[in-house]
Structure 1
Amino acid sequence: MSKKIILAGGSGFLGSSLAHFLIGKGYKVVILTRGVSKEQDTIRYIHWDGKTLDDQWQKEIDRSYAIVNFTGKSVNCIYTKANKEEIILSRLNSVKVLKEAIKNCDHPPQSFVQAGSLAIFGDTREVCDEDSKLGDGFSVDVCKQWEEEFFKETLPETRQVLLRIGFALGRNGGALDPLIKLTKMNLGGTVGTGKQFISWLHIDDLNEMFFQSIENENYTGVFNATVPNPVTNKEFMQKLRKVMGKGWSPPAPTPFVWLGAYLFMRTEPSLALTGRNCIPKKLQEKKFQFQFTDLEQTLEDLIYT
């Protein structure tokens, strides 16, 4: 019988990519979604609200092999009081209810993997590994509460892993897609000062990190999910323009970014103007084999293959 993996909140870009990756390896995938229950492309979708125990989805947890939790309101929004509250509660509530479901199992999953964020380090140009000082600000506070809730109590039969995910680059969606569209319009210039770091990774490597976290008993605790060599925003945009055959593009000064973010993108400008210089120290200690560590090669792979 195929091992069943539960992807909570897995209908988004990262979750969908991992679902097809796991199916390719012979696993059975169930996605917990706020949408309707259905079956599509060999994936079963089960409705849940991300905060309340329900017999229908809870029974899927019992005898499952692993859970990966992607649940959480997107941070790609304006940080109003209501949005801030939903960003926090959607993360904390999903962790709480999934742990409650696991504790109710007769046969609990052997691993519980949580998708976290490198935003916990704040806006920093200092090199950060898993043991580095954490930052401050709203995004940092969200991550701190999130991780604290996840590790508040251990689950006796379920190994817990949290991946602090960087700027994940994939095909036909995700973080890279809007940058490709801007570059096509000759608007792929430096954003703000261009000195903010981007801790990036190829989505194929991220899927392998999830796979190792699910299967490898030596994976436990917190891991920075990023390549060993972050780049600045200026470097990133230069590489993207080169790969796409574009020349110089006008930069987007900080005041323009603020104006454009609020008026046109309807999102928080700090998402583009801040960055993190993070390295995957623990993954390197585990001898994780990256497929992609060169940014130009990564962009060529994602855009042209």
Structure 2
Amino acid sequence: MSKKIVLAGGSGFLGENLAEFLQTRNYDIVILSRQPYKVEKGIRYIQWDGRSMDEWASELDGSHAVVNFTGKSVNCIYTKKNREEIVSSRIDSVRVLKEAIQSCTRPPQAFIQAGSLAIFGDTALLCDEDSPHGSGFSVEVCQRWEEEFFKEEIPGTRQVLFRIGFALGRNGGALEPLQKLASLNLGGTVGSGKQYISWLHVDDLNAMFLYAIESERFSGIYNATGPQPVTNKEFMKTLRGVMGKGWAPPAPSPFVRLGAYAVMRTEPSLALTGRNCIPARLVEQGFQFAFTSLEEALHDILQPVLQ
């Protein structure tokens, strides 16, 4: 009988990539989503609101693991309302999932939370799991999020939190807007270009989740990123090269701020800040990366599209 994995908030880019990956390894996938009930590609979508107990909670009883991706996208302008929703969507989902797990007769043996490297703020200093946190709204969100997740232990259920970096994959995610800019010969350096991008291939991220699901050695906080972060200038140059594009004009910070607010309707800090993070604990535990070179990762992702 297939083991059941419940992906809360799993209808986005990362969740659907993980669902497909786990299906190929004979797992039964259930996604908790705001969408009405449906079955698509062998995956059951169960409706939930991300904050209150309901019939969805029965899906956790007897499941092998729960992975939580829930949270309002930070790709927005940080109005008071959006800030409140960014915080509440993360805190509420953690709280209600823990409540559901604690009510299970047969609780899942692992609860895995998708977090963010944004907890380190905007820094070029090398950051491992024990590095100091930064400051600002995004940092505060991450701190409250992690505190809620680890506030108390759940008997019989391991708790793992991945601070996820800039995940690269096909058909969506963080790479898509940069790929579009480069295709229009607009993929130049953003801002100073000195801000770091802590990237990883989504295949490596999926492998991390699989290890966390299956290995009892996994517990606590991990930086889920690749071992070779690069600056924005390096990233955009490599992306242009893989796409067969030449030099592109840089986007100075004032233009980025204007474009973010007026055109993209998002916070310019998402493009103008960065962090230089490494996956120290994963390396210590022997995790083997399939992609450590940005150029190789981008070739793998983009070549089927460009051919």
Report the TM-score, using the length of structure 1 for normalisation: 0.99
Cα distance between partner residues in 2 of 1:184 and 1:229: 25
Q: What SS does the aligned partner of 1:71 have?
A: coil
Q: What SS does the aligned partner of 2:153 have?
A: coil
Q: What SS does the aligned partner of 1:207 have?
A: helix
* Equivalent position of 2:169 in the other structure: 170
Cα distance between partner residues in 2 of 1:214 and 1:84: 31
Cα distance between partner residues in 2 of 1:303 and 1:287: 28
1:217-256 paired onto structure 2 within 5 Å: 217-256=216-255
Shift of residue 241, structure 1, vs aligned partner? 0.5
Q: What SS does the aligned partner of 2:114 have?
A: strand
Q: What SS does the aligned partner of 1:106 have?
A: coil
Long gaps (5+) in structure 1: none
Shift of residue 129, structure 1, vs aligned partner? 0.1
Cα distance between partner residues in 2 of 1:37 and 1:276: 39
Q: Which amino acid aligns with 1:259?
A: L
Cα distance between partner residues in 1 of 2:275 and 2:209: 21
1:15-94 paired onto structure 2 within 5 Å: 15-54=15-54, 56-94=55-93
* Equivalent position of 1:193 in the other structure: 192
Q: Size of the alignment, in residue pairs?
A: 304
Q: Deviations over 1:136-188 (max 9, x none)?
A: 10000000000000000000100000000000000011110111110010000
* Equivalent position of 1:10 in the other structure: 10
Cα distance between partner residues in 1 of 2:227 and 2:301: 19
Cα distance between partner residues in 2 of 1:261 and 1:293: 30
Cα distance between partner residues in 2 of 1:25 and 1:297: 25
Q: What SS does the aligned partner of 2:5 have?
A: strand
* Equivalent position of 2:262 in the other structure: 263
Long gaps (5+) in structure 2: none
Shift of residue 98, structure 1, vs aligned partner? 0.2
1:280 aligns with 2:253: no
1:182 aligns with 2:181: yes
Q: Percent identity?
A: 68
Cα distance between partner residues in 2 of 1:304 and 1:187: 20
Shift of residue 229, structure 1, vs aligned partner? 1.0
* Structure 1 segments of 4+ aligned residues over 4 angstroms from their partners: none
Q: Which amino acid aligns with 1:143?
A: C
Q: What SS does the aligned partner of 1:143 have?
A: helix
Q: What SS does the aligned partner of 1:174 have?
A: coil
1:107-122 paired onto structure 2 within 5 Å: 107-122=106-121
Cα distance between partner residues in 2 of 1:243 and 1:40: 34
Cα distance between partner residues in 1 of 2:175 and 2:17: 14
Cα distance between partner residues in 1 of 2:42 and 2:228: 37
Q: What SS does the aligned partner of 1:16 have?
A: helix
Cα distance between partner residues in 2 of 1:150 and 1:247: 45
1:116-131 paired onto structure 2 within 5 Å: 116-131=115-130
Cα distance between partner residues in 1 of 2:220 and 2:132: 17
Q: Deviations over 1:210-246 (max 9, x none)?
A: 0111111000000000111100000000000011111
Q: What SS does the aligned partner of 2:291 have?
A: coil
Q: What SS does the aligned partner of 1:186 have?
A: coil
Cα distance between partner residues in 2 of 1:109 and 1:79: 35
Cα distance between partner residues in 2 of 1:137 and 1:216: 35
Q: What SS does the aligned partner of 1:252 have?
A: coil
Report the TM-score, using the length of structure 2 for normalisation: 0.99
Q: Deviations over 1:94-147 (max 9, x none)?
A: 000000000000000000000000000000000000000010100000000000
Cα distance between partner residues in 2 of 1:134 and 1:60: 36
Cα distance between partner residues in 2 of 1:173 and 1:50: 23
* Equivalent position of 2:157 in the other structure: 158
Q: Which amino acid aligns with 2:44?
A: R
